[in-house]
Amino acid sequence: MVRISDRHIKSPAGPTTDGFGCPLKQLSINQALAGSDIAVFRKATSVMRLDQVKTSASDRGFVVGVSSLGGHTRRIYHQHHATNHDFTENSIYIRNLSEGYKADLSGPFDFLLLEISPASLIRIAEGAELPGVTSLAAETASKDIVLANLCRALTPALEKPEEASALFVDQMATAIGTYLVQRYGGRSIAASNRSRSLSRSHEQLAKSLLLENLDGNISISEVAKVCNLSRGYFIRAFRETTGMTPYQWLLSERVNRARELLRASNAPLAEVAIACGFADQSHFTRVFSSIAGLTPGNWRRNS
C-alpha cells in the first residue's frame, strides 16, 4: 500500500494551502492514498468559516468531492456572477481543474476527494468499454448516494493505510472510476450479452497470482495485464466466474489458510496473522470474525 503526501502550493514561508486551495492550518483531517488512476484524499474541518479557497487553472484533470456531512455552504465566484450552494450528506461536486476556482466556504465539512488526470480518465473509460469519454460533467451540491457509498468504503483505508492492501484500493478505485464515466461521462451504456466470465486458464492464472501475493499488495492492473484484459473487464469477469470480487476472494482464501494453521498448529495468533497476509493480530481478528462468525481463538478451541 502506497501512501502519498498531499500536494500543496508552495510559498516563501512554506506550504499554506493544499492542492485544492484549502488552508492547511484549518484542516483537522488531511489524509491521502494512491489508487489505480485515482488519487484519493480526505479533507475535514470543524472551522465555521474558512479562508477563501482559490486555485488557478491547471492540466491536472478533474476533482470529484463527496460530502459526508450536512451544513456546509459555498459561494462560488464565476466570471460575471456568483452562485450559492448547500452541501448535504451524500452530496457531490465535480470540477474541471482546467478552470480557475474561487469560493467562500462556510460551515464544517468532511469531504472525500478523487483526483483524476485526463490520461487516467481515458484509461478508465476504455476499461469500462466507453471509449471516447474525455471529460466529466460538472456538478455542484447534487446528491449521489451510490457514489457516496462507494467512496465511503475507502475511509478505513485512509484511516489505517497499513491495513489497506493495494488490491483493495485498486479494486475500489476501478469501481468508482467506472461508475463516474458511466454516470457523468456523457455516453450511453450499450447493453451487451457477451459473456463476462474468465476462461479456465485466465481464472487459474489470476488465482495463482493472487495467492502468491496473499497480503494483497498486487494491483488489479498487474493481474489484468497478465490476463491481457482491462481492469474493469477483469473485475467483472472475475466476479461472474467466482461470485466474488478479487479482493473478496483473496480475503476468503486468507481465512481458509488461517483455519488450516489454527487447526494444525499451536502457533500464536500473531504468527498466524502474518503468515496469512494480515497486517497484525487485530486486523486478522476483525476480518476472521466477520467471515467465520467467531474470533480466531474461539474458532481454534471449537475446532
Q: Structural domain of residue 285, as residue ranges?
A: 254-302
Residue 192 covered by a domain:
no
User: What per-residue string of b and e applies to 105-143 under the rule 16 or more CB within 10 Å gives b?
Assistant: bbbbbbbbbbbbbeebbbbbbbbbbbeebebbeebbbee
Q: Are residues 171 and 75 in the same domain?
A: yes
Q: Are residues 58 and 120 in the same domain?
A: yes
CA distance 13 to 64: 29
Q: What is the CATH number of the domain that holds 267?
A: 1.10.10.60
Cell of 253: 482464501
Residue 194 covered by a domain:
no
What local confidence, expressed as pLDDT, does residue 164 receive? Answer: 82
The pTM for the full model equals: 0.79
Question: Alpha helix locations (H) across 145-245?
Answer: 145-152, 155-159, 166-184, 200-212, 220-226, 231-242
Residue 195 covered by a domain:
no
Q: Are residues 29 and 119 in the same domain?
A: yes
Residue 3 covered by a domain:
no
Number of folded domains in the chain?
3
CA distance 167 to 210: 9
Q: Are residues 152 and 219 in the same domain?
A: no
What local confidence, expressed as pLDDT, does residue 189 receive? Answer: 57
Q: What is the pLDDT along the chain (303 residues), one digit of tens a residue?
A: 444 444 444 444 567 899 999 889 999 999 999 877 999 999 999 998 888 899 999 999 999 999 999 999 999 999 899 999 999 999 999 999 999 999 999 999 999 999 999 999 999 998 888 888 999 999 999 999 999 999 999 999 999 888 888 889 989 999 999 999 999 998 755 544 455 789 999 999 999 999 999 888 888 989 999 999 888 889 989 999 999 999 999 999 999 999 999 999 999 999 999 999 888 899 999 999 999 899 999 999 988
Q: Are residues 14 and 159 in the same domain?
A: yes
Q: Are residues 175 and 281 in the same domain?
A: no
Q: What is the CATH number of the domain that holds 30?
A: 2.60.120.10
Q: Are residues 35 and 76 in the same domain?
A: yes
What local confidence, expressed as pLDDT, does residue 128 receive? Answer: 86
Q: Are residues 166 and 221 in the same domain?
A: no
What local confidence, expressed as pLDDT, does residue 195 receive? Answer: 56
Give residue 163's Cα distance to chain centre: 14
CB contact at 8 A, 211 and 246? no
Nearest to 282 by CA among 267, 264, 297: 297
Q: Are residues 96 and 215 in the same domain?
A: no
Q: Are residues 93 and 220 in the same domain?
A: no
